[in-house]
Amino acid sequence: MKPQLILLGAPGSGKGTQAARLVSELSYTHISTGELLRSEISSGSELGNRVQSIMNEGKLVDDNTVLELLSSNCDLDTNAYIFDGFPRNIEQAKLLDDVLIKEHASKAVYFDIDLDKLAERLINRRTCDDCGEIYNLLSKAPKVEGVCDKCKGTNLAQRKDDNKETVVTRLEVFKNTIEPVLEYYESQGKLTRLDASKGADGVFEQLENTVKN
């Protein structure tokens, strides 16, 4: 049985791409709490109704409810899951262990990347509004400035939350909340730090080694 995998990394560190490969190449099941919340609501279950009413009040779904949701949707005896986006902080990490993972083998993987470089990358990201192609003005600029290589559209936009101030704040918050989480997993000998600057194949190779060893 493969270990349950907890993916930790800043937005833009490449976690999403690698999660997709873990699913297609190593048969992992990807857990997105956002998707679980939506499907639980549409199932009309008692839990789903409770979640719906929390959201109707404009509140965030609390950690205990998220754990209840995970517990009712995950069977760790038969499946290996990727937890991505949860836990985000030390309280959630402990709760996930106490309520769900318990004695099951698990590993935490941190997508280690220089946060200043990451900020630069995010600030220079542009997305084609017409076809969704993603560019980077530093490393993958469109051949003709302002024109999408793929669909020739001219709406290459910066995402609202990719402006400099927002990116820097977001990464600082991330850094402060992730440090205790990394220490927590490290103290249990469960943490692997991947060099997330290695390119998609290089990172996946490190991931495979982590899963298999």
Residue 170 a catalytic site member? yes
Q: HSE on the CB side for 143, CA within 13 Å?
A: 5
Based on CB atoms, which residue is closest to Zn ion, 34 or 146? 146
DSSP letter for each residue of 160-178? GGGSHHHHHHHHHHHHHHH
Nearer to Zn ion, 41 or 147 (CB): 147
Peptide bond into 11 cis (omega under 30): no
CB of 133 to Zn ion, least distance (A): 5
Active-site residue among 88, 94, 193, 198? 88
159 is catalytic: yes
Which stretch of DSSP H or E encloses residue 128? Answer: strand 125-128
Which pair of structure tokens corresponds to residue 152?
């020739």
Catalytic residue check, 21: no
Q: Which residues contact Zn ion (rule: CB under 5 A)?
A: 128, 130-131, 133, 148, 150-151, 153
Q: Is 88 in the active site? A: yes
Whole-number minimum distance, CB 131 to Zn ion, in Å? 3
Nearer to Zn ion, 120 or 133 (CB): 133
Q: Calculate the alpha carbon distances from 137 to 35, 151, 170 in Å.
A: 32, 18, 21
Residues with catalytic function: 15, 88, 125, 159, 170
